[in-house]
Structure 1
Amino acid sequence: MLDLTYETPKPKVIAGAKHDWELVIGLEVHAQVSSNAKLFSGASTKFGAEPNSNVAFVDAAMPGMLPVINDYCVEQAVRTGLGLNAQINLWSAFDRKNYFYPDLPQGYQISQLYHPIVGEGEILVDMTPGVARLVRVERIHLEQDAGKSIHDMDPNMSFVDLNRTGVALMEIVSRPDIRGPEEAAAYVVKLRQILRYLGTCDGNMQNGNMRADVNVSICRPGQYEKYQATQDFSHLGTRCEIKNMNSMRFIQAAIEVEARRQIAIVEAGGEVVQETRLYDVDKNETRSMRSKEEAHDYRYFPDPDLLPLEIEQAWVDEIKATLPELPDAKKARFIADFGLSEYDANVLTAEVANATYFEAVAQGRDGKLAANWVINELFGRLKKDDADITTSPVTPAQLGGIVDLISSDAISGKIAKDLFEIVYTTGGDPAQIVEERGMKQVTDTGAIEAAVDEVIAANPAQVEKAKANPKLAGWFVGQVMKATGGKANPAAVNALVAQKLGL
């Protein structure tokens, strides 16, 4: 946990026609395990391969083919649990979830309903500086993904691609602790960040490597507090699940529109039916997909082809010892070691590559100055070019060199921006560029004073105006900077102008 003081955000309140309502949200996030092979076969998990080219016999449910657990996927699940401060279960088991669908060749999905590999954990979700929500994680279980049905290639036919069949997923199930659309999106962002730091999931939502099922219900103010005190779900409204959300923006929009749908039903005297729904982006509405099944509808039973999964505490401890510094700890260290604001620390730790880059620039230098140049100049320019830190043409050593030149008063801030542009576009050593191009800042007070005297002497009318209105002294500063090619030390110029004008 961060050693910072936070306040808890207030729940989202939606005004209905008759009453105020609050939202209660839980998420089931399906995160694809970062593994080259599937959960129970050696078939590749490479994205974008030709349809049905990454399919082993067991994935296709060929008779007599038995699943063999991928140890690395188990390790990644344990690693994820440790990263979420969760209980690791040394004994877990796989179950069969039985249902029929064309892209599920076995007729069942291998999952972990009764005995998941990871138990309760927690995530601290940052909302704004000083505001956070602690969201409890109920469980993480391993399961295999289904294939993909394709309906838009031919109006008269549907196709099935089994490349994803058997890919390892971690289903990360939260408690209903989330109280608004923005919190739900922030939760997914934070979870994605942690998984990427751990290296257990790449978090690529566009490719379907991370997607969320969002459970939404409504309740009257005060009911959620009763649920918290008793853990009795009857205090909360009937929930509906919105399936396969893969965008932060759409998660927020779907929650908002689904909540308003439920409010309208209840205030009209109806009852919300527990069901699974889909979000229609074009119409900005949710629509019914199927009634919400319970566990007995899937006829869960222990998978007879897989023995219970037993792991040793010593192995868990070995994995724990290899965990990287996670976002919250890194953020707290950046605030403490480099004197950063919480906002700047959040920006710099959002991606592990960004944090690594910043730390290389800031090491042994003014942390706040380094952060300013990384966030405002480098990140700003990369965003303009639709690039990221991994493809930055400016290395940490080069940007650190620019910061050194600023800190030593060798160059001014304005010159530094010109220098940054040169380094960004053509490369080179900043100190050498400054030397070769004569970009060094003029710090000789005699030379600066001569330039100030010359500008004042040439503009007597402006002098009188400045004496009457001291704010106009900035005009003289600009003229001196122009006369010196922007090389004069700005602080010295300001001081001398004020002195000469008697301000």
Structure 2
Amino acid sequence: MAKAQLMDFDKALEMFEPVIGLEVHVELSTKSKMFSSAPNPAYGEAFGAEPNTQITPLDIGLPGSLPVVNEQAVRYSIQLGLALGCSIAESSRFARKNYFYPDLGKNYQISQYDEPIAYEGSVEVELENGRVFHVPIERAHMEEDAGKLTHVGGATGRIQGAEYSLVDYNRAGVPLVEIVTKPIVGAEADAPELARAYVSTIRDIVRALGVSNARMERGNLRCDANVSLRPRGQEKFGTRTETKNVNSFRSIERAVRYEIQRQAAILAAGGTIQQETRHWHEDTGTTSPGRPKSDADDYRYFPEPDLLPVAPPAELIGQLRAALPESPAAMRRRLKGEWGFTDNEFRDVVNSGLLAELVDTVRAGATPAAARKWWTGEIARLANAQGVEPSSLVNPQQVAQIAQLVESGELTDRLARQVLEGVIAGEGTPGEVIEKRGLRVVSDDSALLAAIDEALAAQPDVLAKIKDGKVQAAGAVIGAVMKAMKGQADAARVRELVLERAAQ
């Protein structure tokens, strides 16, 4: 496949106005699936189960099997709709979305179409430059997830070049809420960042509600990014593409930016944009064609005949509304004050997409400063090197334990980094890694004094310099002691002991 031509991003914006739309799929953390009693593999022990073991006849489309609505999934969907500022429908209904694909055993998906559970909302999103957007929500509707295909024999793990594909129906029927925005105009050069920040805000919302684990690396939260361009001064929207199932914040931003540049190059050359789905390739930072994108009419929606409309009582909606947590925007304002971060420090945290991890880490016992240091520093560095989300490497409880060990003096920063590496490598809890690797700080002054005396003996002039008031000369001894102790000494304590020796 020929490499796509790209236009310079700034030049593309001079010629065209970007219009984006975002569809975020949130897997709900119910114990069972949307319409069957099978365990929900997005929740608890069912995650990672052997293929095709978490299924019922309904999940694989066997004749005679009938769906039953998961009440908890409906409650979660209402909560999410309310948190998005949506109106909740007095009555909504399910529909059959008809299309053939191997991971849909029934050959249709039970979804919602013209009568969603929630509609007409808005989400406040703040960008790195301080610009605030109110992203308009068209609807949030309930549906079931499809199964998962594994493509075997190709070099990339994708369907292109594969010899055959295997289907796992464990995920088929997992409860989903799909959040669909209206077309977002006016973002201009901020469009890629806005897409990333919006999905990050959605994750913060669903985590605060407790309705989803929202782990992107597990597919609990996935985004389809729609992008179109229209020439400056034109009212009519351009033809859109839909980049499917982008599963990291960084990739969402990159995918939107790439599509703007790709489409601009095609349009400027007199070409036309194909309405299609596209695949995102993390390794190359490019998209490639998927299938022609169907319009709603092509899916032949009609009311699901086996399910009654969903009509939540007004009392239930009132109860769920009263129990809503504070909004992400309000929470950010509160946390910034409570944590004492500067504007730049707090903006760095928000832009990293790690605010939820910091909140959980502080809740687990770390100081805000320590939580920020570890998540946006060493953990983010390791995650970037591996091309994964930081939250996939370590959890907040483990980070809090490491931070507390540093705070108490049981670990130095250097040792703590080694402990972190061990935890990420699967060697156990921080305490277990410390024991296995022998990483605890040497707190025995006699052992430290022995190492100090040895270092002073090797550098006899240093002691005289310190006694003459040249305290900075102690650095050479401290470095030698730290090396001899393999980094397992507290440098501050070593310095105290060196100066005590010089005073004798």
Q: TM-score, normalised by structure 1?
A: 0.70
Q: Closer, same or farther in 2 for the Cα pair 1:129/1:358, shift >3 Å?
A: farther
Q: Would the aligned equivalents of 1:25 and 1:176 in 2 still touch at CA under 8 Å?
A: yes
Which of 389, 396, 401 does residue 389 from structure 1 map onto?
396
Q: Would the aligned equivalents of 1:358 and 1:396 in 2 still touch at CA under 8 Å?
A: no
Identity %: 37
1:376 correspondence with 2:373? yes
Q: Closer, same or farther in 2 for the Cα pair 1:399/1:85, shift >3 Å?
A: farther
2:322 counterpart letter in structure 1: A
Which of 17, 33, 49 does residue 38 from structure 1 map onto?
33
Structure 1 residue 377: Cα displacement: 6.2
Q: Would the aligned equivalents of 1:38 and 1:168 in 2 still touch at CA under 8 Å?
A: yes
Structure 1 residue 81: Cα displacement: 1.5
1:354 counterpart letter in structure 2: L
Give the corresponding residue for 1:301: 302
2:368 counterpart letter in structure 1: A
The 10-residue stretch of structure 1 (341-350 or 140-149) with the greater mean CA deviation from structure 2: 341-350
Give the corresponding residue for 1:468: none
Structure 1 residue 353: Cα displacement: 4.9
Q: Would the aligned equivalents of 2:466 and 2:472 in 1 still touch at CA under 8 Å?
A: no
Rounded to whole Å, the distance in 2 between the matches of 1:166 and 1:201 is 15
Structure 1 residue 132: Cα displacement: 3.1
Rounded to whole Å, the distance in 1 between the matches of 2:274 and 2:338 is 53
Q: Closer, same or farther in 2 for the Cα pair 1:319/1:238, shift >3 Å?
A: same
Give the corresponding residue for 2:260: 259
Rounded to whole Å, the distance in 1 between the matches of 2:474 and 2:17 is 61
Q: Would the aligned equivalents of 2:371 and 2:399 in 1 still touch at CA under 8 Å?
A: no
Q: Would the aligned equivalents of 1:481 and 1:487 in 2 still touch at CA under 8 Å?
A: no
Q: Closer, same or farther in 2 for the Cα pair 1:379/1:243, shift >3 Å?
A: closer
Secondary structure of the residue aligned to 2:217 is coil
Give the corresponding residue for 1:15: 11
Which of 176, 182, 185 does residue 175 from structure 1 map onto?
182
Cα deviations by residue, 1:375-407 (Å, 9 ceiling, x for unpaired): 2368646667864422136378777778xxxxx
Q: How does 1:43-442 map to 2 (within 5 A)?
A: 43-46=38-41, 47-128=47-128, 130-152=130-152, 157-177=164-184, 179=188, 180-221=191-232, 234-281=235-282, 284-345=285-346, 347=349, 350-358=354-362, 370-376=367-373, 380=377, 387-392=394-399, 394=401
Structure 1 residue 113: Cα displacement: 0.6
Answer with 1 or 2: which has the greater Rg. 1
Structure 1 residue 304: Cα displacement: 0.9
1:458 correspondence with 2:468? yes
Q: Closer, same or farther in 2 for the Cα pair 1:477/1:276, shift >3 Å?
A: same
Q: Closer, same or farther in 2 for the Cα pair 1:130/1:288, shift >3 Å?
A: closer
Structure 1 residue 94: Cα displacement: 0.6
Q: Closer, same or farther in 2 for the Cα pair 1:417/1:161, shift >3 Å?
A: closer
Structure 1 residue 487: Cα displacement: 7.1
Q: Would the aligned equivalents of 1:360 and 1:397 in 2 still touch at CA under 8 Å?
A: no
Give the corresponding residue for 2:5: none
Q: How many residues align?
A: 417
Structure 1 residue 77: Cα displacement: 0.9
Q: Would the aligned equivalents of 2:406 and 2:412 in 1 still touch at CA under 8 Å?
A: no
Structure 1 residue 354: Cα displacement: 2.4
Rounded to whole Å, the distance in 2 between the matches of 1:282 and 1:396 is 33
Rounded to whole Å, the distance in 2 between the matches of 1:284 and 1:200 is 31
Q: Would the aligned equivalents of 1:327 and 1:350 in 2 still touch at CA under 8 Å?
A: no
Q: Would the aligned equivalents of 2:402 and 2:416 in 1 still touch at CA under 8 Å?
A: no
Rounded to whole Å, the distance in 2 between the matches of 1:383 and 1:273 is 37
Q: Would the aligned equivalents of 2:21 and 2:183 in 1 still touch at CA under 8 Å?
A: yes
Structure 1 residue 201: Cα displacement: 1.9
Secondary structure of the residue aligned to 1:309 is coil
Rounded to whole Å, the distance in 1 between the matches of 2:416 and 2:279 is 48
Structure 1 residue 131: Cα displacement: 3.0
Secondary structure of the residue aligned to 2:318 is helix
Secondary structure of the residue aligned to 1:277 is strand
Structure 1 residue 316: Cα displacement: 1.7
Rounded to whole Å, the distance in 2 between the matches of 1:82 and 1:389 is 28
Rounded to whole Å, the distance in 2 between the matches of 1:209 and 1:169 is 9
Q: TM-score, normalised by structure 2?
A: 0.70
Rounded to whole Å, the distance in 2 between the matches of 1:176 and 1:322 is 30
The 10-residue stretch of structure 1 (18-27 or 192-201) with the greater mean CA deviation from structure 2: 18-27
